[in-house]
Chain A
Amino acid sequence: MIPELGTYALVLALCLSVLLSTIPMVGAQRGNLLWISFARPLSIGVFFFTAISFVALTYAFLANDFSVSYVANNSNTALPWYYRMSAVWGGHEGSLLLWVLTLAGWTLAVALKSRDLPADILGRVLGVMGIITTGFLLFVLFTSSPFERLLPRSPAEGADLNPLLQDFGLIVHPPMLYMGYVGFSVAFAFAIAALLSGRLDAAWARWSRPWTNVAWAFLTLGITLGSWWAYYELGWGGWWFWDPVENASLMPWLIGTALVHSLAVTEKRGVFKSWTVLLAIFAFSLSLLGTFLVRSGVLTSVHAFAADPERGFFILMLLLITIGGSLFLYALRASEVKSESSFSLVSRETMLLVNNVLLTVICFTVLLGTLYPLLVDALGMGKISVGPPYFNALSVPVGALLMLFLGVGAVTRWRRQDGTALLKQLVVPFVIAIVLGVLSLMLREGESTLWTYVGVILAFWLLVMAISDISDRVRRRSTPVLANLKRLPRSYYGMQMAHLGVAVLAVGIAMVSAFNEQRDLRMAPGDTQQVGDYTFVFEGARHFDGPNYSSDIATLRVFYKGEPYDVMQPEKRLYTARGTVMTEVALDPGLFRDLYVALGEPLENGAWAIRLQFKPYVRWLWLGGLLMTFGGILAATDPRYRKQSRREQSKLETANA
């Protein structure tokens, strides 16, 4: 009964979202305030019924209702309750429902939080989000309903959740990622609303900025969590694989990053308007493209859901309507946009333009690399592969260039800047960065490549520039330093924190790529192995039975410079329901290095294949991601957005009076 209620609630949500995508839109076109005012209650209704449906599915999982085919395929009575709950988004159907719920959630948030927006803009924004919701609800109901029953022959036991996904990472990674993906729909909806109303001005950029920052922060967090999860769960010790699905999340992130910066220029200076709109459309389009790539089976990937051309065709139609429609609208309307100001060659505008161009170039490279095999195949020219060498060869140098300009851009003035003065300002920090970078690598044992130097020097460059910029700003006033620090706006700190995140990430990438040590060994009980300052003593493995798996646990005693340091217990699990073998690595995390031990196959006489890894600075990768996330949130919650929108509201009221 409950699963049927879930379907019923989805149908109701669909009906309401059809209304949401029509009534307020028509109302905004005709200037009918009554019709526009339907937008807010309809948004609440769509969210309410989608949430009911989601709760119904969660209930089916918690109650082990294996008559529901999706539950039977992705759960098991032996699964602990928290994994039964996260199993809701462990497969295609349920994760799509989560996608729709997130979309409805963002719509609700816009409806509740944007009371200060002009009525027609709000109506159009919610209307556009209603159109997207309608499309995805149709997709769920017609091709991917999670509520389909296996009746009358329902199994007594479920097939179990993919063991890879039985992990804390899976509980949090998809929801965060979807919050980011779907969050770009808000910027998209604002862009479309602006195009429809013909009011592409600085106010539009100001409204979408906090939303875009929040969505970007979530996406950053989602990707970071995904990388961290792959690191400890897949057992290879890698953190980025250039897998098509990873690329699918990286592309909207790159364009989203460009959008965050371009919105700043549009808001502050009134230039780049049509470019910003295009980026807003692209950021969400790439999110949709990612959905298509993951769920249609056009590319092979470890992440891919079961291939189904029918589903793929449906998403492709959705893509065609939303992206094609919005780009058509863009082509018709963007020519009316006029720039409100001008800027000279050396200015922050130019620097941010460089940022946009470089990010777009990386994104295009990744897009090309991801789709190239498909393209060549579709042309009947055979099948070719694009591997990490291609992606690294292009993204590493462009990324380095991006960091170089980042340091310059953050201190350049808006509108016009004296070139020679700027150069003078940059020389000293640049020299300091080179000296610090070279010294810190020289003092370290091991061989550094050119790119290690570039990475570390550029990280120091960003750090030095950030410090010099903050101290410049503080010294500009004669009041006490602490008071001056407090006076700097929150969004400024957000920016610095996110940029610092880039530096930390760069250190992580450079160090772990250069100094990673890996030993693949055959270890019999009593065998020892030295990795750096650490000695590993293998003490043998024993058998252990878990709730839904049986496993072998090895014990390694670790000594640091001869002193007892730690006991590490890597594990190899056999999940009985699916017969899948999983590696549970043993990790000793640290700020400057991780010890990583994975258990391989059993060999003769109690010996095991064991992989030991010493991973310097690997935590910095995710630390960088977290700094960027917090930076984005800090910037989005800057109080000035509220103040400004209130000021506008009162201005509007006086104008109307």
Chain B
Amino acid sequence: MRKLLLFIPLALFLGMGFFLWKGLYLDPREIPSALVDRPMPAFELPSLTEPERNLTVADLTGEVALVNVWATWCPTCKEEHSFLNQLAQQGVTIYGINYKDEPVKATAWLQRYLNPYREVILDQEGRLGLDMGVYGAPETYVIDAEGTIRYRHVGAVDANVWKQLQAVIEQVEGAGA
């Protein structure tokens, strides 16, 4: 019996090795196809700016928009924030999901760096993030007027990424018209 027990470390290692091998051929930045062209998962979560008000999918529909997942613990979010502000000034609709964060810090952050978001969903437990398959902050989704996810980008949004997102938005808007 004890002899068999001694094989446990080897078995654990082989199991891990198998997953590492599979992981080699997955791109961590790739969009999981399963999520694209699915509706936004249903949720009912408080707004960061007005905590007594609850937001649902219905609040995000009506026009093509970006959904940006961010948190104050995420340094990359800080980097992309000024670009999001620019986009908001250009009239792009951006919704924010404040992911696994502390509301106090998040509110202070938006005061400091300005708020590019039309609405900020407070996802303190990370439930919505889990349903959406958020890999890490920041992530940015393109959703259409019906609230269907059309594109997903993992990582910061900058001028180059925005070109891609713009192409997707144009395509979505063209198909809708």
Residue positions of A touching B, CB distance < 8 A? 234, 236, 238, 241, 274, 278, 281-282, 285, 292, 296-300, 307, 309, 312-313, 316, 319-320, 323-324, 327-328, 330-332, 334-335, 371, 373-375, 377-378, 382-385, 387-389, 520-521, 601
CB-based nearest B residue for A392? B73
Contact yes or no, B23 A377, CB < 8 A = yes
Which chain A residue lies CB-closest to B75?
A236
Contacts A238-B75, A331-B3 known; 5 new A-B pairs at CB < 8 A: A241-B75, A331-B10, A374-B20, A378-B26, A383-B32
A-contacting 9-mer, from B11-19, B44-52, B142-150, B162-170: B11-19
B3 contacts which chain A residues (CB < 8 A)?
Answer: 331, 335
Q: Who on chain A is nearest to B34 by CB?
A: A382
The answer, among A278, A300, A309, A378, for a CB contact under 8 Å with B136, is A300
Partner among A300, A320, A332 whose Cβ is within 8 Å of the Cβ of B154: A300
- A234, A292, A324: the one contacting B13 at CB < 8 Å is A324
**Contact status of A374 and B19, CB under 8 A, knowing A278-B9, A335-B2, A335-B3:** yes
CB neighbours (8 Å) of A281 from chain B are 9
> Within the assembled complex, what's the spacing in Å between the Cα atoms of A327 and B8?
9
Interface residues of B in 41-59 (CB under 8 A from A): none
How distant is the Cα of A385 from the Cα of B9 in the complex, in angstroms? 27
Q: Please give me the residue from chain B that is nearest to A333 by CB atom.
A: B6
Inter-subunit contact A383/B135 (CB<8 Å): yes
Chain B residues whose C-beta falls within 8 Å of the C-beta of A298 in the assembled complex: 20, 23-24, 26, 28
When distances are taken between beta carbons in the complex, the residues of chain B under 8 Å from A313 are 21, 24
Quick one: which of B20, B26, B136, B154 has the most chain A CB within 10 A? B20
What is the CA–CA distance of A401 and B6 in the complex, to the nearest angstrom? 29
A377 touches B9 (CB 8 A): no
List 22 interface pairs A-B (beta carbons < 8 Å), by A numbering: A236-B75, A298-B23, A300-B29, A324-B13, A331-B3, A331-B6, A331-B7, A332-B6, A335-B3, A373-B136, A374-B23, A375-B19, A378-B23, A382-B133, A383-B28, A383-B32, A383-B135, A384-B133, A385-B135, A387-B71, A387-B73, A389-B100
Using Cβ atoms and an 8 Å threshold, which residues of chain A touch B71? 387
Inter-chain CA distance A300–B76, complex, in Å, is: 13
Residue numbers in A under 8 Å from B7 (CB-CB): 331
Decide if B135 touches A324 in the complex (CB within 8 Å). no
Q: Are A319 and B10 in contact (CB under 8 A)?
A: no
Cα(A374)–Cα(B16), bound, Å = 10
Provide the B90-123 mask, 1 if CB < 8 A to any CB of A, else 0.
Answer: 0000000000100000000000110000000000
Nearest CB on A from B70, distance (A): 12
Q: Which residues of A have CB within 8 Å of B112?
A: 520-521
CA distance A313 to B13 in the complex (A): 16
Q: Give A407 Cβ to nearest chain B Cβ, in Å.
A: 31
Contacts of B73 in A (CB 8 A): 387-389
| Given A374-B19, A385-B136, CB of A601 within 8 Å of CB of B82 | yes
**Residue in A closest to B129 when the chains form the complex, CB atoms:** A385
Q: Is B88 an interface residue (CB 8 A)?
A: no
Report A279 CB to chain B, min CB distance, Å. 11
Please determine whether A335 and B19 come into contact, CB atoms closer than 8 angstroms. Answer: no
CB <8 Å contact, B134 and A371: no
A467 CB → nearest B CB, Å: 38
Question: What is the size, in residues, of chain B's interface with A at 8 Å between Cβ atoms?
Answer: 42
Closest to B26 in A: A377
Counting chain A CB atoms within 10 Å of each CB, which of B24, B82, B130, B155 scores highest? B24
Shortest Cβ distance from residue A165 to the other chain B in the assembled complex, whole angstroms: 18
Name the residue on A nearest B35 (C-beta). A382
CB–CB A330/B28 < 8 A: no
B60 at the binding interface (Cβ < 8 Å)? no
Contact between chains at B135 and A292 (CB < 8 Å): no
A621 to B148, CA, bound (A): 47
With both beta carbons as reference points, the residue of chain A lying nearest to B109 in the complex is identified as: A520
Distance of A550 Cα from B17 Cα, bound (Å): 47
Give the residues in chain A near B134, CB-CB below 8 Å: 383-385
A382-B32, A387-B71 known; A309 and B9 CB under 8 Å? Answer: no
* Nearest A-chain residue to B4, judged by Cβ: A331
Decide if B28 touches A373 in the complex (CB within 8 Å). yes
Question: Across the interface, which residues of A come within 8 angstroms of B100, CB to CB?
Answer: 387, 389
Name which residue of chain B comes closest to A374, CB basis: B23
Q: Which of A274, A323, A521, A601 has the most CB of B within 10 A?
A: A323
**Nearest CB to that of B102 among chain A residues?**
A389
Complex interface: chain A residues within 8 A of B75 (CB): 234, 236, 238, 241
- Residues on B with C-beta less than 8 A from A382 are 32, 34-35, 133
Q: Which residues of B contact A377 (CB under 8 A)?
A: 23, 26, 28
Q: Which of B2, B14, B28, B134: most chain A Cβ within 10 A?
A: B28
How far is B133's CA from A608's CA once the two chains are assembled, in angstroms? 37
Cβ–Cβ contact B82 & A320, under 8 A? no
User: How far is A604 from B15 in the complex, measured between Cα atoms in Å?
Assistant: 57
> In the bound complex, how far is the Cα of B78 from the Cα of A238, in angstroms?
13
Which chain B positions have C-beta within 8 A of A234? Answer: 75
Residues of B with C-beta under 8 A to A309: 24-25
Q: What separation, in Å, do the CA atoms of A520 and B111 have in the docked complex?
A: 10
- On whether the beta carbons of B9 and A299 are closer than 8 Å, the reply is no
Alpha-carbon distance between A55 and B97 when the two chains are bound, in angstroms: 52
Closest to A519 in B: B112
A387/B137 contact (C-beta < 8 A), A320-B17, A371-B16 known? yes
Closest B residue by C-beta to A332: B6
B25 close to A334 (CB less than 8 A): no
Provide the residues of chain A in CB contact with B113, threshold 8 Å. Answer: 520
Shortest C-beta distance, A157 to chain B (Å), equals 24
The 9 A-B pairs at the shortest CB distance, nearest first, are namely: A382-B133, A385-B136, A327-B10, A383-B135, A378-B22, A298-B23, A331-B6, A520-B112, A374-B23
Docked complex Cα distance between A281 and B120 (Å): 48
**A330 / chain B contacts, CB cutoff of 8 Å:** 6, 9-10
A507 to chain B, nearest CB (A): 23
- Cβ-closest chain B residue relative to A282: B9
Asked if B13 contacts A316 (CB within 8 A), the reply is: no
Q: How far is the CB of B117 from chain A (nearest CB, A)?
A: 18
Contacts of B16 on A, CB cut-off 8 Å? 371
Chain B residues lying within 8 Å of A323, measured Cβ to Cβ, are: 13
Contacts of A316 in B (CB 8 A): 17, 20-21, 24
What separation, in Å, do the CA atoms of A33 and B21 have in the docked complex?
41
Query: In the complex, what residues of A have CB within 8 A of residue B82's CB?
Result: 601
Which partner residue on chain B sits nearest A320 by CB separation?
A: B17
Provide the bound-state CA to CA distance between A234 and B113, in Å: 19
**B23 x A327 contact (CB < 8 A):** no
Q: Which residue of A lies closest to B19 (CB)?
A: A378
Q: A296 CA to B26 CA in the complex, in Å?
A: 11
Which residues of the partner chain B approach A371 to less than 8 Å between Cβ atoms? Answer: 16, 19-20
CA distance A234 to B78 in the complex (A): 13
Across the interface, do B137 and A385 meet the contact criterion of CB distance under 8 Å?
A: yes
**Contact at B14–A335, with CB atoms within 8 Å?**
no
- Whether B14 and A383, one on each chain, are in contact in the complex, defined by CB atoms closer than 8 angstroms, is no
